[in-house]
Amino acid sequence: MEDGETQHRSQGEGRERPRPAIRRPALHAQVVDKLRRLIANGDIPAGERVNELQIAGTFGVSRTPIREAVKLLASEGLLELLPGRGARVRRLAREEILEQFDVIGALERHAVELATPRMTLSQRAELLTLHESMKAAFDEGDARGYFDANQKVHRFFVRVAGNGSLAAMHDAMTKRARRERPLTLASAPRWSASMTEHDEIIAAALAGEAERAGAAMLAHLRRTGAAMAEKSDHED
């Protein structure tokens, strides 16, 4: 016959242990991400004020998390706070655009040079699939689809590079620069050139030619920055 302690232990062991609660992302983080994407995709153009009431209705939240998100995105340089008048999407100056893309180009060149010799067979297949998605979107004239696939290619190299410090710096820089990039595709010659440049990057990477792939990535991003700077000049 079991004594009290043994019986208590047996009963306890028979019970199902409570499962740890699954933590959902904070509402604040979700709102920040959604608002950042609206800005990044050009849905709220540079120079336009942020309509907090309208966005709150679209997101199905109160204005409080919208205001918090606006403050955070202002600290990132995406928004400009207007005393007593809310905020507007910050317009980047020509020199700022060129400087940012020079830095992003250097980071991604290094990422490509690190990632190229490290790619596994499955990662090489992943890269090729992403590139084919870009080409399909280009052939269909789908600028948004092209841009989404394009960004996945760039993030692929940063991820496979396996350098946490590089990834953190790249994330911080691209949060600012990403917002105008889909609009540069409005120029048919630039879009076509961008596709050709990606063909060169991918071909070199898959051939294991890290330095050539890295140099092609740097040149590509500098040209993208120049196209954005030119567009900024026309808008001023």
pLDDT of residue 23: 44
H-run or E-run covering 107: helix 94-115
Q: Which domains does the chain have, with CATH numbers?
A: 27-89 (1.10.10.10), 94-235 (1.20.120.530)
Digit-coded pLDDT (tens) for 71-105: 999 988 889 999 888 899 888 888 988 999 999 99
Beta bridge partners, 79, equal 89
- Note the Cα 30 to chain centre separation in Å: 15
Beta bridge partners, 49, equal 88
Digit-coded pLDDT (tens) for 40-76: 777 888 889 999 999 999 999 999 999 999 999 998 8
pLDDT of residue 81: 92
pLDDT along the chain (236 residues), means of 10: 49 51 62 86 84 91 91 88 88 87 96 98 98 96 89 96 96 72 64 95 98 98 89 59
pLDDT of residue 90: 86
Rg of the chain over all Cα atoms, to the nearest angstrom: 23
pLDDT of residue 161: 98
Q: Token match 């995709």: residue?
A: 41
Q: Token match 């199902």: residue?
A: 16
pLDDT of residue 24: 45
pLDDT of residue 177: 65
Residue 11, CA atoms < 13 Å, CB-side half-sphere: 7
Cα separation, 214 vs 204, in Å, equals: 9
pLDDT of residue 184: 57
pTM as predicted: 0.73
Cα separation, 111 vs 167, in Å, equals: 9
pLDDT of residue 2: 47
